[in-house]
Amino acid sequence: MSLFSFFLLLPFLSLCLSQTPPKGFLIDCGASSGSEINGLQWIPDAEFISTGTPRNLTTPVQVSTLSNVRSFSLQGKKNCYVVQVYRGARYMVRTTYYYGGINGPGFPSPPVFDQIVDGTFWSVVNTTDDYARGLPTYYEGVFLAQGKTMSVCIGLNTYTESDPFISALEFVILADSLYNSTDFNSFGLKLVSRDSFGYSGPTIRYPDDQFDRFWEPFVHNNSANASSSNVSVSGFWNLPPEKIFQTQLGSDQLESLEFSWPQASLPNSTYYIALYFANSNGSSPRIFNIAMNGVTYYRDLNVTVSGVVVFANRWPLFGPTTITLTPVANSTKGPLINAGEIFEVLTLGGRTTTRDVTALEMVKESLQNPPLDWNGDPCMPRQYSWTGITCSEGPRIRVVTLNLKSMNLSGSLSPYVANMTALSNIWLGNNSLSGQIPDLSSLKMLETLHLEDNRFSGEIPSSLGNISSLREVFLQNNNLTGQVPSNLVGKPGLTLTISGNNLSSPPPAS
């Protein structure tokens, strides 16, 4: 049963470890210049986004990356950061939010909004509880770079009552072995909790964690310091920091250890879980069973001195979660546990076909004032598709309608529109578009072409006559010249309107 598949890994490999800073981008949103914090380089965000306004918080903050935000108006449906990535690499993406009352005294509570990664709805961003306690909120996920760029977008929803914002955005390349039992072509991981058990100090992160993952303190009445740790973390595929093996939850008595973890009540979903164990005293074996909410997760785990991780790929959970470690009869001591990671497994939402994305980027470039939400993935998530774009259903996501009627557009229509070969409708009427009508003959599915009430000039391309599916061509009130192509005049089943141009032959009576 793949849902319950789990693995035991006894580390013996020796991978190459380096203490160089994590690779990727650490983006300080709304900052006007870069900064270095704890050995990590942060860069300003202007080159990654074209919407929103940088704002400085007026309240004091603990970390300088929180002192400024990029704030977005309630106008654009989504606002996206686009970052150059290595296709095929696996990225830890982390967003950080600290409101700081930036929307003024009328809005003491932070706005609630959505975050999107590529074409996938990632989560609701609700920082209310953390903010009330004076804390920033962070979200972390692990996603594959499926193209040359990745986007993270702030999405507005019906519950968004004031301007959304973001404080920081990080893209960190993870080693290939991390979380590699997950099929990242179809799934992403959304962090629920990553804890160092029995540890009460500040969050463990870089340089202890070479990828700057956060391991939060987690104490319980069975917290203890490990007497001595002899763990080489290089053998663990997930490369946890050594420091997590210096503390533990555990009991020397032959008794069960039970605790609630993660502390949040979970939505009904499937989870990637990795639990880390190391026995600090080889002469007293600890052997126990692991259960989650009473369901056996692993049997007869004999924790070794060099450490062991037990992970599950897609483990179903719902509501509060209790972990129980029960010693077996021939164990000499009680159970222990050093750390745990749990991620919700997210099914990826899919992406618009690259051909259409590239073409739309060119169409956007040739328009002087494209709609504000024309960034990120054009079709996905479906409730966040670009204004004026309608897309096909199914695994291959294509753009089928381009409808920018009466949008006050100027500029021209890029010839790249002809690359969007699934288009059946182009409606651009009542704008101020100028330039020539491009050759659209590659659009074999095109049924309606509405370019009326614009400033298109030049000749009507005769190649339009070769599109057999074409039913309507509205060209009235433009600045077109030359003759109406003979293969359009009187084409059966075609409605052609051409009045209000400078065409040299009289319009046909259709």
Ligand X SMILES: *[C@@H]1O[C@H](CO)[C@@H](O)[C@H](O)[C@H]1NC(C)=O
Contact residues: ligand X, CB under 6 A? 32, 54-56, 68, 112, 126, 128-129, 159, 177, 180-181, 198, 221, 223-225, 227-228, 230, 237, 268, 281, 283-285, 287, 300, 302, 304, 318, 328-330, 355, 415-416, 418-419, 455, 457, 479
Minimum distance, C-beta of residue 118 to ligand X, in the bound complex (Å): 21
Minimum distance, C-beta of residue 178 to ligand X, in the bound complex (Å): 8
In terms of CB distance, is 96 or 491 closer to ligand X?
Answer: 96
Number of other CB atoms surrounding residue 113 within 10 Å = 26
Q: Which amino acid is at 404?
A: L
Minimum distance, C-beta of residue 278 to ligand X, in the bound complex (Å): 11
Minimum distance, C-beta of residue 126 to ligand X, in the bound complex (Å): 4
In terms of CB distance, is 174 or 470 closer to ligand X?
Answer: 174
In terms of CB distance, is 64 or 495 closer to ligand X?
Answer: 64
Minimum distance, C-beta of residue 492 to ligand X, in the bound complex (Å): 29
Minimum distance, C-beta of residue 222 to ligand X, in the bound complex (Å): 7
Number of other CB atoms surrounding residue 25 within 10 Å = 20
Cα gap 249→335, rounded to integer Å: 8
Strand order in the sheet with 247-250: 223-225, 247-250, 336-337
Give burial (CB, 10 Å; 0-12/13-18/19+) of 222.
buried
Cα gap 358→108, rounded to integer Å: 42
In terms of CB distance, is 28 or 491 closer to ligand X?
Answer: 28
In terms of CB distance, is 390 or 441 closer to ligand X?
Answer: 441
DSSP 8-state code for residue 20: P
In terms of CB distance, is 86 or 159 closer to ligand X?
Answer: 159
Minimum distance, C-beta of residue 364 to ligand X, in the bound complex (Å): 14
Are 77 and 387 in contact by the 8 Å Cβ rule? The answer is: yes
Cα gap 4→313, rounded to integer Å: 8
Cα gap 333→280, rounded to integer Å: 12
DSSP 8-state code for residue 31: -
Q: Left, alpha or beta for 315 (phi > 0: left; psi -120 to 50: alpha)?
A: beta
Q: Which residue has the tokens 């929103």?
A: 52
Q: Left, alpha or beta for 364 (phi > 0: left; psi -120 to 50: alpha)?
A: alpha
Q: Which residue has the tokens 């192509």?
A: 485
In terms of CB distance, is 127 or 491 closer to ligand X?
Answer: 127
Minimum distance, C-beta of residue 159 to ligand X, in the bound complex (Å): 4
Minimum distance, C-beta of residue 223 to ligand X, in the bound complex (Å): 4
Minimum distance, C-beta of residue 509 to ligand X, in the bound complex (Å): 25
In terms of CB distance, is 75 or 354 closer to ligand X?
Answer: 354
In terms of CB distance, is 402 or 491 closer to ligand X?
Answer: 402
Minimum distance, C-beta of residue 64 to ligand X, in the bound complex (Å): 9
Give burial (CB, 10 Å; 0-12/13-18/19+) of 149.
middle
Helix (H) or strand (E) holding 128: helix 128-132
Number of other CB atoms surrounding residue 370 within 10 Å = 20
In terms of CB distance, is 299 or 490 closer to ligand X?
Answer: 299
Cα gap 458→411, rounded to integer Å: 15
Minimum distance, C-beta of residue 9 to ligand X, in the bound complex (Å): 9
Q: Which amino acid is at 28?
A: D
- The alpha carbon torsion through 186, 191, 192, 194 (nearest 10 deg) reads 130
In terms of CB distance, is 168 or 491 closer to ligand X?
Answer: 168
Largest Cα–Cα distance of the chain, in whole Å? 101
In terms of CB distance, is 126 or 390 closer to ligand X?
Answer: 126
Cα gap 55→247, rounded to integer Å: 41
Cα gap 106→69, rounded to integer Å: 18
In terms of CB distance, is 431 or 491 closer to ligand X?
Answer: 431
What are the structure tokens assigned to 98, written together? Answer: 């600290």
Are 119 and 352 in contact by the 8 Å Cβ rule? The answer is: yes
Are 394 and 420 in contact by the 8 Å Cβ rule? The answer is: no
Minimum distance, C-beta of residue 404 to ligand X, in the bound complex (Å): 19
Give strand pairing partners of 54.
70
